[in-house]
Structure 1
Amino acid sequence: MLPLLVGTVQIWGSLGAQRGQVHPGDPLSRVPLDPLGFALLVAGPLALTLRRSRPVLTLWTVAAVTVLYVYLGYSYGPAFLGMMVALFHAVQTGHRRAAYTAGGTLWLCYVAYATWVLPTPMGLFPHAGVGSLILVVLTIAEVARARREQRAERERVSREEARRQASEERLSMARELHDVLGHSISLIHVQASTALHLMDEHPEQARTALTTIKQASKDVLTEMRSLLGVLREDAPRSPTADLSQLDDLVERTGPWAAKRVTGAPRPLPPGVERAAYRIVQESLTNVAKHAPGARATVTLEYGPERLAVRVEDTGAGVPGTLSGEGGGNGIPGMRERAAALGGTLTAGPHASGFRVEALLPIPPQTLPSKDAE
């Protein structure tokens, strides 16, 4: 629709302009529009139909048509509109050199026409007026182009940020699923091995192991539904594991696990509680896999500026049922959780067993105030 609109404005505007510029018998009179004049007023807008596929060709075509229209002496008016549109579009499409060259060429042609072709040369004011018009159009085009590029850059950064957040969410989800499945399936495997070993001689103990398997499988299904539920738009965007569930975790793990708390327990940020819970869960999983029969002690130390999480075991007297599966990603995953919060995690032999210790900083806004103390 733009070429049609430009052509309409040029024709009707030029018809109106020639009423005050065409004076028969006056040597300074402009030439009335004839078929060639109308053709030139239409040729420029027609060339604009190629502005998207051939912007430079369109620019020079419209410039040539405009110069020819002026040199043939037709009335001034909106005949320059097509040229202004072509200049603007050339800058917008990145052909700035061609736009400035064509604009300068148009101005020089007008100066030459007004100085040497017209019977009475024009002064500096008309020359400056045409040059100012061209500069204004180029300036507006540059500003519009800069704003468009800034908007495109903001959109690109926004898309990159969205992709980064989605990647982090997928990584967090994978880590959560690893911890949930690793702990529960390892516990089920150990208890199933115990049930098979005791089924004939100690059926009551085997029944206890099977009961533990039933509860563990139920718990893992419930937690998996909770974790996968965050993929729905109407679900909470963070997993629900926190330190309030630690007692259930220790009890579900078995009688060989115990919990100890020092300091003043208090609510902590969800990220800190979730990391502490997962570190304990992964550590107990490793004890069940690699040190069956060992006793494990979970210790939480609430300090003024950090939470210390420690899991120690007494060492295994027999090889673990899952010890041949390789190192896995348990300890590196725990280190990543601690590092993500600005904390540290160490893991290694201790006395006759193994110890995992994580130091998780507590953000200042959650620290107890002096008045509360």
Structure 2
Amino acid sequence: MREFSRGRHPRSGRAAAPTWGPPWRSAGPEARPAVRLPWRSSLVVAFLQLVGTQFAAQSQPERADLGLVGRALLVAGPALLLVRHRHPRLAVLGTSAVTALYLGAGYPYGPVFLSVVVACFAAVAAGRRVAAWSALGALWTAHLLIAHWLCRWLPPGGDGPAAWGPEAVVAAWVVAVVAASELARVRREQWARERAEREAAERRRADEERLRIARELHDVLAHSISVINVQAGVGLALLDQDPEQARTALTTIKAASKEALGEVRQVLDTLRAPGAAPRSPAPGLDRLDELTEQARGTGLAVSVEVDGVRTALPPGADLAAFRIVQEALTNVVRHSGSRTARILLRYAPAELELRIDDDGPATAGGMTTGITGGMPRGVTGGGNGLVGMRERAAALGGTVTAGPRPDGGFRVRARLPLTAATVSPMPRHEAPSGEATLEAP
């Protein structure tokens, strides 16, 4: 059973357009979605069948007069088209039966087959191919029986068997309708598949963007808050004994927090204006001196060694290298008993190797929340820091390994592939060589 209901628009309060649907439509959020009835197309088919048949009847005086019953049959087919989206099998079988009754009554030939063609297209597109083919086959069979054998007993009176020659044309039309329906079904499935692929690609891009923003926020906040935490502890310890040193710690906190706010604002700007160019360039290895300077402020002695000819990196590789070094130093500051760290940058024609070492064990109670994510430093874990490093490297086709060294201490090693097309040598006056050591005061 169907029911006719008129509701009100949820926002404007105006009466909504009436829709036909099953009684369970308003049963809850999981009820079947409403399907609008194809009124316009069904009215167009009804108009074409009525008007077209009226004109065709003028050249067929031998056929039965198109009376009230004939016009009712011409309207019955388009009326069944109203349910072709919800019940395609009923629509195609019903229109075929109505058309067969029309032909059996001896009414004039005309566009009476139009409703059958439309119903056949809808049934094939909905996957009811057997029903569509069966309906067309049954209608064709009924046409053959009526035109060649049953015509003696059916109206109009005195009608004789039809010639067999035109049947080839009728058969060609049937085949054409079936072929066009199948082509429409294939195209519809292709469009649906392409739409699903586009939606899946959009979801993947959204997921990748969320992961990228999460990595950026994690790296920025973990490093800056670690520096702020260490300096805050120094400031509190020296507030009464050495106010000048406490002032220096507070100045470092101010600078670190300002830099963190700027980088977080830059990351959040990408959410407000997706695709817009960032206001400031992304950090890279050209800011390595700033990074080591911040580490110096926490009492960590950092040495930087460059092996090979330093080259300008692609933006993605440059950012990944900077963040990997930043996260590794953050881990040393927060969780290592050593106050020294060694950074090695090895430039090769096809890749950049990063190696960050420290010699100390984990601090007392030091459960890493950076690179090893809540596991003891002696165990290689899979926390946010390490996962972020691996994701950054994997996005470029590289790798990251992290774990304890056989001789003690901890090592982070990353390999980032480079291509000759995207790497250019740095100007000679900017290419450092040998070893640069930054010692803690």
2:389 aligned with 1:344, yes or no?
no
- Counterpart of 2:216 in structure 1 is 176
- Aligned to 2:421, the other structure's residue is in SS state helix
Say yes or no: does 1:331 pair with 2:386: yes
Residue 295 of structure 1, CA deviation: 1.7
Counterpart amino acid of 1:6?
Answer: V
Alignment partner of 1:250 is 2:292:
yes
Seen in structure 2, the aligned counterparts of structure 1 residues 347 and 79 have a Cα distance that, compared at 3 Å, is closer
Tell me by how many angstroms 1:224 deviates: 0.7
Structure 1 pair 80–355 and aligned structure 2 pair: CA distance change class (3 A): closer
For residues 294 and 73 of structure 1, what CA distance do their matches in structure 2 show? 103
Deviations 1:13-57 (A, max 9, x none): 2222222221xxxxxx22222222222222222222232333222
User: What amino acid maps onto 2:363 in structure 1?
Assistant: P
Q: Secondary structure at the match of 1:364?
A: coil
Cα distance in structure 1, aligned partners of 2:231 and 2:367: 15
Greater alpha carbon shift after TM alignment, 204-213 vs 214-223:
204-213
CA pair 199-112 structure 1, distance change in 2 beyond 3 A: same
Q: Is the 8 A contact 1:289 1:321 kept in 2?
A: no
Structure-to-structure mapping, 1:31-180, within 5 angstroms: 31-118=64-151, 119-180=159-220
Map of 2:363 onto structure 1? 319
How far apart, in 2, do the equivalents of 1:243 and 1:356 lie?
17
**Cross-structure match for 1:25:** none
Q: Which residue of 1 aligns with 2:229?
A: 189
- Say whether 1:236 aligns with 2:236: no
Query: Conserved in 2, the CA contact under 8 Å of 1:18 and 1:75?
Result: yes
Determine the C-alpha separation between the residues in 2 that align with 1:346 and 1:63: 70
Q: Which residue in the other structure is 1:362 paired with?
A: 418
> TM (normalized to structure 1)?
0.89
Cα offsets for 1:67-117 (capped at 9, x unmatched): 121112111111222222222222222211111001000001111112113
Aligned equivalents of 2:269 and 2:350: distance in 1? 33
Further displaced range: 101-110 or 48-57: 48-57
Q: Show the counterpart of 1:268.
A: 313
Deviation of residue 345 (structure 1)? 2.6
Cα contact 1:191–1:209 (8 A) shared by 2: yes
- Partner Cα distance (2:93, 2:143) in 1: 15
Aligned partners of 1:355, 1:48: CA distance in 2, in Å?
A: 72
Conserved 8 A contact 2:312-2:423 = no
- Is the 8 Å Cα contact of residues 288 and 320 (structure 1) preserved in structure 2? no
Percentage identity across paired residues of the two chains: 47
- Counterpart AA for 2:186: A
Residue 231 of structure 1: SS of its match in structure 2?
Answer: helix
2:335–2:366 contact (8 Å) kept in structure 1: yes
Asked if the contact 2:338–2:358 (Cα under 8 Å) also holds between the matched residues in 1, the reply is: no
What whole-Å deviation, never above 9, does each CA across 1:222-255 have from its counterpart, x for those lacking one? 1111111111226337981211222211112216
Q: 2:265 — aligned with what?
A: 225
> For 2:314 and 2:78, how far apart are their aligned partners in 1?
65
- 1:108 and 1:177, CA in 2 relative to 1: closer, same or farther beyond 3 A? same
Q: CA deviation at 1:58?
A: 2.4
Report if aligned partners of 2:121, 2:184 keep a CA contact under 8 Å in 1. Answer: no
More helix by share: 1
The 3 A distance-change label for structure 1 pair 213 and 96 is: same
In 2, Cα distance between the equivalents of 1:45 and 1:250? 79
* Contact kept? 1:84, 1:134, Cα under 8 Å: no
- Compute the displacement of 1:143 (Å): 0.8
Q: Using a 3 Å threshold, how does the CA distance of structure 1 residues 368 and 17 change in structure 2: closer, same or farther?
A: same
**Could you tell which deviates more after superposition, 134-143 or 340-349?**
340-349
SS in 1 for 2:205: helix
Structure 2: tracts of 5 or more residues without a match: 1-39, 152-158, 376-382, 426-441
Q: Secondary structure of 2:170's partner?
A: helix
Q: Does the 8 Å contact 1:310/1:358 carry over to 2?
A: yes
- Flag the 1:124–1:241 CA change in 2: closer, same or farther, 3 A: farther
Q: Verify the 8 A CA contact 1:268 1:366 in the aligned structure 2.
A: yes
**In structure 1, C-alpha distance between the alignment counterparts of 2:368 and 2:95, rounded to whole Å:** 79
Tell me the distance in 2 between the aligned counterparts of 1:344 and 1:3: 62
1:333 alignment partner AA:
G
Q: Which moved more, 1:270-279 or 1:203-212?
A: 203-212
Q: Distance in 1 between matches of 2:352 and 2:368?
A: 33
Q: How many residues align?
A: 363
TM-score by length of 2: 0.76
Q: CA RMSD in A?
A: 2.5
Supply the distance in 2 between the matched residues of 1:190 and 1:120 (Cα, whole angstroms).
106
SS of 2:109 mapped into structure 1: coil
Q: Any conservation in 2 of the 1:226–1:240 contact (CA below 8 Å)?
A: no
SS of the residue 2:58 aligns to: helix
1: CA distance, partners of 2:302 / 2:195: 52
The DSSP-based 3-state class of the residue aligned with 1:124 is coil
Gaps of 5+ in 1: 23-28
Q: Which amino acid aligns with 2:89?
A: V
1: CA distance, partners of 2:160 / 2:114: 26
1:144-199, Cα deviation, whole Å (9 max, x unpaired)? 11111101110101101110111111111111111111111111111222222333
1: CA distance, partners of 2:220 / 2:397? 23
